[in-house]
Structure 1
């Protein structure tokens, strides 16, 4: 089939490459001229996605993948359109539909009868049917479910391992009608590879959830669950610390029972998904008090960790503190909603000079984020914000002069920090 992928970001581009790997001819559409030029040259616009560099070159050189800024023209020549444009939220947690509206309007102008349109961008329940459907109909003159097919199929992958996750998890699909769902299931069955080993707990493949609303809720529910679970772990950790209990041993013990799956506490919850999607859920369900409390609890953790440092170190005004880790997750060069920002902000509020280092980011990149890159200046305290593997080997000799280390991820080795007061969350 001819496929148009709208949005060549960290999810959209790997998806486009995956579709090419199954023999489909794909045109990727993006508003960023730099991204379009790099893709057409067979070069990654962003680093860190496993196997993308090789598979992208193969797709481009085979003639199966090209990129354009003209979304409407790309849609007009396609049998399937997959939309993976980011949806943002404002400071109050309300969705900002501007980018998605613009993309949908461009799709509508090129829409032909018989086309399947699949939205993979996470959004509030009911958006596919009540917002995108009418917008596509208005811009095309066609009727959803009759002249073209419309589904929602959430992305369920993590950056850095997209191709593996596409094989690992069932692909969820929900249509605005039965015929739309049938077309959505057939497309994804033809476009993805699945791990079908018999030892899997659940059958893999494409699952029709019965409606776009069910598929939308499934995405919001699975990500919101993680935020709530982490918040619970953080609450346990804060209580355990007050009582002199090591929460890590408690959680390990609890999780030997199959009904307990407590996550790990930590300094922050970052990334494009977990801090954002609970807010999108709350926008549609403002009475969800458990979700709201969890979001607030996790958002408070960076300040809590700085408080741990202050209690152990003393007055932080004038102190030079090194924050280790820009990335929101270890091994991934991504800073979206990273805990580094509220951590540094709180340190600055208390009068400390906050330096920042990360093995994945250059000093220029760190400075461009409004952070002060560490270039070997003397520091007397440190906070571990990201669980990079490199920090497992870090020790007191690497940071001479440091008196207190707060490891917000439990990634450092205690024996390497003799002579330094080392603190962890929940102990």
Structure 2
């Protein structure tokens, strides 16, 4: 069986050169050519190619927009983006649109055909996963919704605000309270969670995406158990690859919620479409930001976005203070239109020291300002009655 390829480029001689390179391969055939994004979508629907070679700079509809439409509508078709731009931001945008590979001009014939084969192989694996899902559905009816375990998502469109620090330390605090906790690093662009636990990068979410079947036994092979009691699913060794098959996040959470009481998910600032279903499955969405004016504006924008999308989860704005300047909590809550879940005090030296030693702050400096404030919040979050903590004593509440 040959790999059926559709070539999309607005320059005819480029299309001819790509066609010539592919025709040299015994396992490939070019089934069509398109000169713009709209034509690419029409021909994808008509010809059902296995792989689309998509140039970015196209008339009428650019390659990224066409890629997003094709990947959303035609699950049996993969896309290889071709571009003169090699900057990371362009690559991220392409992968977010659903592309399986990204080639920067100029590239060799070998790089081209290997990219086509990799994308074709991934789409074949995806079809296997979807067939298994349909068979399971037919045999046992609809899978139940996520239940039992509580899913906490740490989100925020601004990077560098401390989402990973908070998620990692909160996971340890819950484990210290004898809760069964799993921490999922969903930052496929970086995956920094291992550094907080003195772990190396290793197999994780991006690698799990290529398993033919996702079940509890397969997942267990990817979890790392930390001495604190936290189970960790790393971003994976293939950090930089933004491929997650449709429905994977839901299936992952179904499995985790059968084994853990709390599942904490550390999201990147840059969200790809396949990750978005995590919001509808979350019990709480913790929106993290800074307490300065630009940070508060960003939190407000994030909260408004989640509300417009109609997510039913509890939205919990959390401020991670960068400065010692005071914060008028009442004014901030009025501006945001909801109560703050917590305000964590600035404690950069403690956090930096703990990170450099590969330890969560909670274990490295249990009595620090940051640790005590976080403990007060987790007590309220999991409903445990304890004596008043740091912020309660500070504000007399």
Same fold (TM over 0.5): no
RCO higher in 1 or 2 (8 Å CA, sep ≥ 6)?
Answer: 2
